[in-house]
Structure 1
Amino acid sequence: MTTPEPAAPEALLPEDHERRLHPGSWLFVLLQNLRQFIVPLAVLVFAGGRRDDGYPWWLPMIGVGALVIVSVWQYLTFRYRIDDDRLVVRSGLLERSVRQIPYSRIHNVAIHQTLLHRLMGVAEVRLESAGGTKPEAQMRVLRMPEALALEQLIRDRGRSDAVTAAPDGTPVAEAAGTTLLALSTWEVVKLGLISNRGLIVVAGAVALSFQVMPERAMGRLLVEYGREAFGYASGFATTWMAKGLVLMGVVATALVLIRAFSVLLSLLRYHGFRLQRQGRRLTVERGLLGRSRSSVPRRRIQAWTQQEGVLHRLFARRTLEIDTASARGSDGQGNANAQRGLDALAPIAPPDTCDAIVRDIALLPAWPPVDWQPLHPRAWQRLVLGDLFMTVGLCAVLAWFFQWWGALGLLWLPWSVFVARRHAARAGYVVDDALVAVREGWWSRTWRFAELGKLQAVELRQSPLDRGFGMASVWFDTAGANAMTTPLRLRFLPLGDAARIHATLAQEIARRPLRW
C-alpha cells in the first residue's frame, strides 16, 4: 500500500514554531540503546544467574533504568523548527547544540518504519547530505503525516526541485508524481529466485557460528550431523550409486530451501516496491512488515549500473542500480542504513523498462548506445593470463600430492580460453559528448556508465603486462562510489585510443562544472 502525500505541509508544520518529536519517541531511542548495550546487559544477567553468593539480581536493572533516563532526556531536549530556507534542530541541555540545515543541502530524505512504527503510526526520518559520515538530522520519531509533510516541504523548497521555468521565464509547478516502476508480488518472487541473499545469510550465520562457538565444538557438531545424515541415507540405499543419488537429493533439497529463504527475504524487503518521479526528485517505497521511503534529487545520481546474470536472462529481467552522493557512514546501525538508501531504482525489471528509466531520469535519449567500440584485438589473451597462472600453480600443488593426477586440472584451460574470447568479443565502450559507458561480461553481464558532468577525475593506467600487449586502461572517479561498487573503467584499450580518451576527457572535465 502506497503512503498518501500530505495535501498541505504548512498546515502540519507551521513556520517559526518549535516542535517536539512524537511523545513515544523516547521508547524507540531506548530500544536503539538497548540494541547497542545488549551484550554487556546479557553478561550481567547471566553472570548473576550463575552465582550463589548473594549477587544483586537488580544490578542489570540499574543499567536499563539509566538507558530509560537517557532516552527520556533526549526526547525532552530535542526541538526542531521550520524556517523559510532551513531546518533548525536544537538538542542537549548541559551541552547544547543548534544545527541549521539549509534545504538545498539535504540530498536524501529517508523515512523508515518497522512493524512497531506502523502499529503506532509513526516513522523515523533521516536527512542526509552528500559525502557526510552521518545524517545531518535523525528524528526518532515523528507522526507519519508530519514525516511525509517534512519530506514534501524539503522537496518543494530545496533548490527549485519542484518548479521549472516556462518559455517566458515564469516558474511553473511540475506535474504530480509519476510512477516509473511498480513491482507485483510475482516480480518480487522472481527477484528472490534470482538473487543469492539466502545463501549469503546462511554463509554468514555459519561463519558467525565458528566465531562464537569453540572450533572443536563446532567441528564435532558438523561431524555428528554429517554421520547422522549419512546413516539416514544408508537406510534408504545399499549401493554407493544409490547413496550418491540420495546425497544429491539432500543437497538439492538444501538448495531449494535456501532459494525459498531468498524469496522470503526479498518479500520482506521489496514487497510493494514503487519508484516515483516527483518533480526533480525520485522516491522509492518498499517493505512488507517494515516500510521504508527514500527520496533523493535526480541530480545526485552519479553513476548507473545494469546487471544481468544467467538467471536474469532466464526470466528476461535486469537490475538497475545507482551511485548517489549521500551519506555513507555508520551511526551505530550497521548496514541497515545502507539498505534504507535509494540504491536500486529497479531491483528487477525487463530490459526495456530499465532503459526507459535511464532515458527518463538521466535525460539520455540515445540510451542504449548502438556504436559500441571494441577492445584491443588481443584483449582475450590478456584476460586469459590470470587463469593461466592460477591454473598452472594449482596443478603444481596438486601434482605434489597426487603425482600425475594433478595434471588433470589443466583441462580447465580450454574453458578459460573460451570464456576469455567470449568476454572480449562482447565487451565494449562508448565515449561521446553525453556519457562514458562500458559493458563487460559474458556469463554475467554488466553495463556501467555515467554522464560527463558527473566525472570528477580521469586516470590512465598501464601495468607491465599492458605495456607488453600495447594496451592501457582509463579509470574514472565519481562521487558516491565505494569499495563495493564496480569501478567505472575502460580496460584493455589500444594505447593510442586510451591516451586520446584520457587527454580529451581531462580537458572536458576541467571545462565543465561538476553536476552534483
Structure 2
Amino acid sequence: MSEAAAIPAAMREQRLHPWSWLFVLLQQLKQFLLPLIVLVVFGGRDGERDVYENLATLVVMAILVGVSLVRYLTYRYRIGADGLSIRSGLLSRNRREIPFARIHNVVVHQSLLHRIFGVAELRLESAGGARPEAQMRVLRLDQALALEQLVRQRGQATPEQAAEVSDSTTLLTLPPGEIVRLGLISNRGMIAMAATAGAAYQMFPQKMVANAIEDYGQQVFGYASRLHMGWMSGLITAASLLVWAIALLRVLSIALAALQYHGFRLSESQRRLTVERGLLARVRTSAARRRIQSWTLREGVLHRWFNRRSLNIDTAVVESRGEHRKSIRELVPLATPDTCDALVRHVLPGVQWPPTHWHAVPIRHWWRLCLWPAFWLALIAAALWPLAGQSALLVLLWLPWSAFKAHRQVRRMGWSVDARLVAVRGGWWTRWWRFAEIDKLQALRLSRSPLDRRCGTASLLLDTAGAFGDGPRLKLRLVPLEQARALHAQLSLTLARRRLRW
C-alpha cells in the first residue's frame, strides 16, 4: 500500500470547489463594477480609441481571471486532529496552522449565486484578528457544514465537553409578524434611501444630478401653482405627501427586514449558539457560549410601543469592514423583554438578571450632561451673530430641552455589581443595558476629570476583549469618589484571584 493511500481521506490535502476561482473573480470585480458601468454609460468616448480601450479592458479581465485561477490552484487545506492547516501562495508561499480550540466564530455564508451552485463561503474567526483566520471561497455546502460541525466537536474547552452529543435546540425564531414589527421599528428604509441618494450623487456627474433636481422641482411647483390651492389646501397636501413618504419608507423597511431576517433561527448545540437568517442570501454563523464577552440590550421609543427589545453580544473577534452583517453580534433582533431576560439567564446559568438592585447616580449631577450642548449652542449663536444679530439668540431656546434631556438621562443611569456580573444602564429616549461577567473583565481604570475632582466623583471603566464597537461602553460614571475607590479595590482583588475566561 502506498503512503498516500495509507493516509485517511479526511487528513489529506484538499482543494476548494472547482468553481472557487469564479467566486474570487466576482469578488474582485465587485469593487470595479459600478465605476465601470458609469464609465461605459456616461464616459466621453469619441469612437477613435474604442479599440485600445477594449483591449485594455480585456487585458485587465485576463489578469483578474489569471489571479483567480492561481489562487484556486495554489490553495490547499488539510483537516488534522487538533486543527486546520492551510497552504497558499505561488511566489510567496504561506502555511497557516489554525487550532480548533482557538476558533471563536464560524460563519457559513450563501449568496443567491452560492445557492444556485450549491456551494458556500466558510469563514473561521479567532480573537483579535482584523481578518478571518481562514476564508474559504468556496466549498460544497455539505463540506462547509461538515467542517463547521467538526469545529464544534473539537473546539470545546474540555474533552468531556467535546464528548457531549446533543441535538440542536431552537431558542428563538422570528415569525412573519415579528419581522413586520422589526421593519416598522427599524429605520432600514430611510438608511437605504439615503445610501442610494449618496451613491447616485457620487456616481453620476454632479451637473446631471443638479439639473435633474431642478427640473423635477420646477415640474412639481408648476403643477401645484396651476391647481390654485389655498394655504390650507397646500398644507394638507404637503402633510399627505409626508405621510405617504413615511409609509413608503416603512414598507421598504419591512421588505429589507424580510430579506435579511427571513427564516431567522437561534439554536444551541454542544454549548454553541448558531444564528441562521436570510431570504436570498443565507448566513449561518456560530460562536461558543464561553466566547461571549459582553451583552447589550437596547430599547428605543418604537420598541417600547411594541413592548420589544433587541439583544446584541460582543465576542473577541475584530470585524473587518463590510463583514459586520455576517457576524453573530445580533443575537436577538426583536423579542419581548421577558424573552430577552430569559435567554440571558439560559446562556448564563446562575446569573441574576435583571439585577435586583441598581445603584442610582446622584440626580444633582444632571447639569454636567448638558455642558457640551450649552457650549456648542453658545458657539453657534456667536457665529451667527454677525449675520442675524439678536435673532441668533433664538438658538439658545434649545437649552431647556437639553436640560430636560440631561435630567431624564441621569434619572435612568445606574450600575450594579455582584459576585458574577457587572452591569451599567443609561439612556432615556433610547434606553440601553450593558453587562458582562466579572471573569471576562481584562482591565479596570479609575479616572477623574477636573469636573470629577470639583464634584467629588469618579468614573470606572471596565474593559473586556469585546470592548470595541459602536455601542455604549461598560463605564460607571458620576460615582461618588469613596464608593468608586472601594469598588475599584474590590474588583481588582477579584480579578487577581480569578482566572480570565475566554
Give the TM-score normalised by structure 2. 0.91
Other-structure match for 1:55:
51
Mapped partners of 1:226, 1:40: distance in 2: 28
Other-structure match for 1:299:
290
Mapped partners of 2:37, 2:308: distance in 1: 46
- Check if 1:386 corresponds to 2:386: no
Mapped partners of 2:248, 2:39: distance in 1: 38
- Check if 1:157 corresponds to 2:157: no
Structure 2 residue aligned with 1:196, among 187, 196, 205? 187
- Aligned 8 A contact 1:191 1:263 in 2: yes
Residue pairs, 1:334-483, within 5 angstroms:
334-335=321-322, 337-397=323-383, 400-483=386-469
- Aligned 8 A contact 1:133 1:328 in 2: yes
In the TM superposition, residue 162 of structure 1 has moved relative to its aligned partner by 8.3
Mapped partners of 1:461, 1:211: distance in 2: 44
Other-structure match for 2:4:
none
Mapped partners of 2:488, 2:155: distance in 1: 36
Other-structure match for 2:241:
250
- Check if 1:238 corresponds to 2:235: no
- Aligned 8 A contact 2:363 2:407 in 1: no
Mapped partners of 2:223, 2:456: distance in 1: 60
Mapped partners of 1:362, 1:125: distance in 2: 28
Q: Report the AA paired with residue 389 of structure 1.
A: F
Residues 35-44 or 367-376, more deviating: 35-44
Q: Report the AA paired with residue 47 of structure 2.
A: R
Instruction: Structure 1 unaligned segments of length 5 or more: list them.
Output: 1-12, 165-170
Residue pairs, 1:39-78, within 5 angstroms:
49-53=45-49, 55-56=51-52, 57-78=54-75
- Aligned 8 A contact 1:162 1:279 in 2: no
In the TM superposition, residue 252 of structure 1 has moved relative to its aligned partner by 2.3
In the TM superposition, residue 242 of structure 1 has moved relative to its aligned partner by 2.1
Q: How many residues are treated as equivalent by the alignment?
A: 493
Residue 436 of structure 1: SS of its match in structure 2?
Answer: strand
User: In the superposition, relative to structure 1, how do residues 414 and 81 fare at CA in structure 2: closer, same or farther (>3 Å)?
Assistant: same
User: In the superposition, relative to structure 1, how do residues 507 and 50 fare at CA in structure 2: closer, same or farther (>3 Å)?
Assistant: farther
Other-structure match for 1:180:
171
Residues 302-311 or 503-512, more deviating: 503-512
In the TM superposition, residue 432 of structure 1 has moved relative to its aligned partner by 1.5
Other-structure match for 2:144:
147
In the TM superposition, residue 406 of structure 1 has moved relative to its aligned partner by 4.1
- Check if 1:514 corresponds to 2:482: no
Instruction: Structure 2 unaligned segments of length 5 or more: list them.
Output: 1-7
In the TM superposition, residue 203 of structure 1 has moved relative to its aligned partner by 2.2
Mapped partners of 1:216, 1:377: distance in 2: 54
Post-superposition Cα deviations, 1:250-299, rounded to whole Å, max 9, x if no partner, equal 22222222222221211111111111111111110000101000011111
Mapped partners of 1:473, 1:364: distance in 2: 28
Structure 1 residue aligned with 2:17, among 5, 22, 29? 22
- Aligned 8 A contact 2:182 2:333 in 1: yes
Mapped partners of 1:489, 1:502: distance in 2: 12
Residue 242 of structure 2: SS of its match in structure 1?
Answer: helix
Other-structure match for 1:8:
none
Residue 98 of structure 2: SS of its match in structure 1?
Answer: strand
Other-structure match for 1:79:
76
Post-superposition Cα deviations, 1:48-90, rounded to whole Å, max 9, x if no partner, equal 9533256333431222122222222222222222111111122
Post-superposition Cα deviations, 1:114-169, rounded to whole Å, max 9, x if no partner, equal 001111111000111111121111111111111111100110011347843xxxxx
Residues 116-125 or 492-501, more deviating: 492-501
In the TM superposition, residue 215 of structure 1 has moved relative to its aligned partner by 5.0
